[in-house]
Amino acid sequence: MNFIDKVRIFVTGGDGGNGCLAFLREKFMEFGGPNGGDGGKGGDVYLVASPHLSTLLDLSLRPHIEGKPGNHGKGSDKTGSAGSDMVVLVPVGTVVYKDGCPEVDLARAGARYLAARGGRGGRGNLSFKTRLNTAPRLAEKGEPGERVALDLQLKLIADVGLVGFPNAGKSSLLARISQARPKVADYPFTTLAPNLGVASHKGIHFVVADIPGIIAGAHRGKGLGMEFLRHVERARVLVHLIDPAGYGNQSLLEGIKAIEAELKAFSSRLAVKPRILVLNKMDLPESADALKQLKARQRARRPLGISAATGAGVSALLDRIILELSRRPVADTLAPAPFGQVARVDTGFRVEPLGGGRFELKGRFVERAAAMLDSSLPEALDRFQKTLKRIGVDKALRLAAVQEGDFVRCGVMEFEWSDQPYRSLPRARRNKRTRIGVGRK
Ligand SMILES: Nc1nc2c(ncn2[C@@H]2O[C@H](COP(=O)(O)OP(=O)(O)OP(=O)(O)O)[C@@H](O)[C@H]2O)c(=O)[nH]1
Ligand SMILES: [Mg+2]
């Protein structure tokens, strides 16, 4: 199975249903009145952390996610039904980034994040009935669902992280203390993706992560690089496993320094994480000397000697692990979630001159109003113009030196600017005045 821990997804909330334009027609009822119902709201799309997933593979194969649309309103005052919400499962430990900034850390099973809101349903003509306008020929289109691009990063949640050079015996140790059965072999880089296992000692359960081996220069991309250190970033304790033979032509002590330098180069969080130094392969004859040397040089850190192959010393290591874990509350390992969210401003707009007599009108409110405009209805156009005027768009465009005949783009629509009020334009000009852009963005 492929292990994917980074993916970019494109999420669109469900579109709102269109409002309906209809009038009651019945025998002996001369003015039945408007009865077009509102469209239903589009479905929201949520990301939910699931403990049953361990990779972002599914999402990498299908990165485009679309919410369910709301149904259109109908005559006889029938409101369209809302699109049902959609749940997209992601593994526990997924961190969501939007525009490069962390949005939320889905670190607990069941944690949910509203990725994209469904659009509002358009209002039918019944909603526009007033005392002065008892028969409005006016209905809105549904609001398009919100569109976002999100970067997801999986950071596995383990209590203990195993780090060290390739071939040190990390996977062998994981297999010894848990039910996990990672691949073990006598060559470097046997492990290509992180493995998780649940260990249990003296009634205490904890999750252990075995990651691919790191080598000196990993932070410059050597070996498998440092990508996988992300998965032990949240561990409460690191176990640094050492091969008595060292790695390559580095001595035992040089090797320890090299791994610590790589941890530091990855993040300051890893640099200060409690580490247990463990010499593996104590069943080999040369190991006794190596352990003596290690104990002499690193006395303060109380290094341990074990053999993942025979199981010798493993119980003492587990004792040390549960002692260290008891000193570090779980909360310490999780990032402060949710991250500060930027408040969305719904009103407000800005005018951007594009040059050559073209302008662009930007802002959530105006873009939404344009997307919901049914430009085939003169009354709807009239209302749209009034709205723009009310919030000061005309003034802002004049300040930006808009000229008669210039084009103003707003979301999916493009309009021709005229200083005269819409109703006073000759009919031919009226029709020309509104041009629809190329479909929904
Ligand atoms: N003699 C002896 N050999 C061991 C011991 N632990 C692991 N080995 C051997 O060391 C080799 C590497 O073991 P792995 O568990 O694959 O090492 P690793 O650290 O996971 O290696 P990578 O996944 O490549 O980073 C295998 O041939 C194991 O059989 C041990 O305690 N004693
Ligand atoms: Mg391994």
Q: Alpha-carbon distance 344 to 364, whole Å? A: 9
Across 144-148, 223-227, 371-375, which has the greatest mean pLDDT? 144-148
Q: Read off the DSSP letter of residue 367.
A: H
Q: Do 6-154 and 350-436 agree at the fold level?
A: no
Residue 441 pLDDT level (bands cut at 50, 70, 90)? very low
- Candidate from 162, 163, 165, 167 with most ligand 1 atoms within 8 A of CB, to mutate: 167
Q: Is the CB of 188 under 6 A from ligand 1?
A: yes
| CATH number corresponding to 160-333 | 3.40.50.300
Domain spanning 350-436, CATH architecture: 2-Layer Sandwich (3.30)
Q: Alpha-carbon distance 91 to 112, whole Å? A: 11
Cα 155-158-159 angle, rounded to 5 deg: 140
Q: What residues does each domain of the chain span?
A: 6-154, 160-333, 350-436
For residue range 101-116, what is the model confidence (pLDDT) as tens digits? 888 889 888 999 999 9
Atom number in ligand 1 closest to CA 183? 16
Q: Alpha-carbon distance 150 to 131, whole Å? A: 47
SS3 at position 17? coil
Overall fold of domain 6-154: Spo0b-associated Gtp-binding Protein; Chain: A, (2.70.210)
Q: Alpha-carbon distance 68 to 17, whole Å? A: 10
For residue range 5-55, what is the model confidence (pLDDT) as tens digits? 889 999 999 999 999 988 888 888 777 888 899 999 999 999 999 988 888
* This prediction's pTM: 0.75
The first and second tokens of residue 64, run together, are 């485009």
Mean pLDDT, residues 367-387: 87
Q: Alpha-carbon distance 235 to 230, whole Å? A: 10
Q: Is the CB of 307 under 6 A from ligand 1?
A: yes
